[in-house]
Amino acid sequence: MLYDRIEPYFTLTNFIDCYWVIESNDRTPHQQKIIPDGFPEIIFHYRDPYRINISGKWETQETCLLAGQIRNHFLLENTGSSGMIGIKFKPSGLTRLFGIEMSDLTDKVVNLNSYLKEEFKFLTEHLLSPTPYFEKVDSLNKFFSERKSAEKKNDLLVEKALELIFEKDGVISVSDLAGILSVGERKLERLFDKYVGLSPKFYTRIIRFNYIFQLIQKKKLSWSEVAHLSGFYDQSHFINNFQEFTGEDPSSYFFEDENMANFFLKRPFVN
């Protein structure tokens, strides 16, 4: 299976985290677990569709998808060969580019046409075609470059809050965030509801959870060391948090497996 991550144009990095591609000719059904990573996405299936189980029931997905923030893991299963190209947005990127109210998409993966049919109508056919994916990425870069608009005051406030959360690897309280930004906690909650789709407290938990995967990649550490470095007071708290997001104990989780969850969570290091 091919897994590839492609950086966007530098001028788009405030809005887009990366583009990603997954391809496989294996038609045997395989279940994949998707784990919260804190980044909303738009996804195009240019080969066979996938089935999704996000609420206890299996359904066949649309070919063009819009995925909001998720709070719990869910399952995907291929129905044939796999060919996907995705746009992983910065946490507030969809609101800043398209004005989407992100709380409407929390824990949802929906048909893209329900929200952005007109915006993508001239690009969808190209993205669903067998065209080489690097050409599709070029088209996406050009498309999003034309969508950029002037920064708004609330845009900058949310971006600063997110920047602090990432700088601290999720180990920062909402009261500290509000204090640093000189903004009330209730206003910060409202802005995160609109721009991110999660409360700032829950979002920091996801980013702190993500940091576990960065630590695992860097060096061999004991679970107690990982728990301490990722900001947990004790190993029990760490294990409970890991189980909540993955449904598994960290000692039984296969960090080295080649799968979608690890591909998305093992993010490139930023020096």
162-182 pLDDT, tens digit each: 999 999 999 999 999 999 999
Instruction: For residues 132-155, give the mean pLDDT.
Output: 89
Does pLDDT of 26 surpass 50?
yes
Q: Confidence band (pLDDT; 50, 70, 90) for 152?
A: confident
pLDDT of the residue at 271: 44
- Rounded to the nearest angstrom, the gap between the alpha carbon of residue 103 and the centroid of all alpha carbons in its chain is 15
Confidence of residue 154 (pLDDT cuts 50, 70, 90): confident
Q: How far is the C-alpha of 239 from the C-alpha of 237, rounded, in Å? A: 6
**Residue 79 pLDDT > 70, yes or no?**
yes
pTM of the model: 0.95
- Provide the pLDDT confidence category of residue 55 given band limits of 50, 70 and 90: confident
Query: For 118, what's the count of Cα atoms within 13 Å in the CB-facing half-sphere?
Result: 1
Q: What is the mean pLDDT of residues 218-239?
A: 88
**Residues contacting 236, CB < 8 A, separation 6+:** none
Give the pLDDT of residue 147: 87
CA dist 97 and 8 (Å) reads 15
The Cα–Cα gap between 86 and 191 comes to 26
Arithmetic mean of pLDDT over the chain = 94
Lookup result for tokens 């066979």: 48
CA of 28: how far to CAs of 47, 54, 81, 255, 271, in Å?
14, 21, 8, 23, 39
Domains along the chain with CATH numbers: 2-145 (2.60.120.10), 153-265 (1.10.10.60)
Which has the higher per-residue pLDDT, 150 or 83?
83
d(CA 10, CA 66): 23
Query: Average pLDDT for residues 242-255, to the nearest whole number?
Result: 94
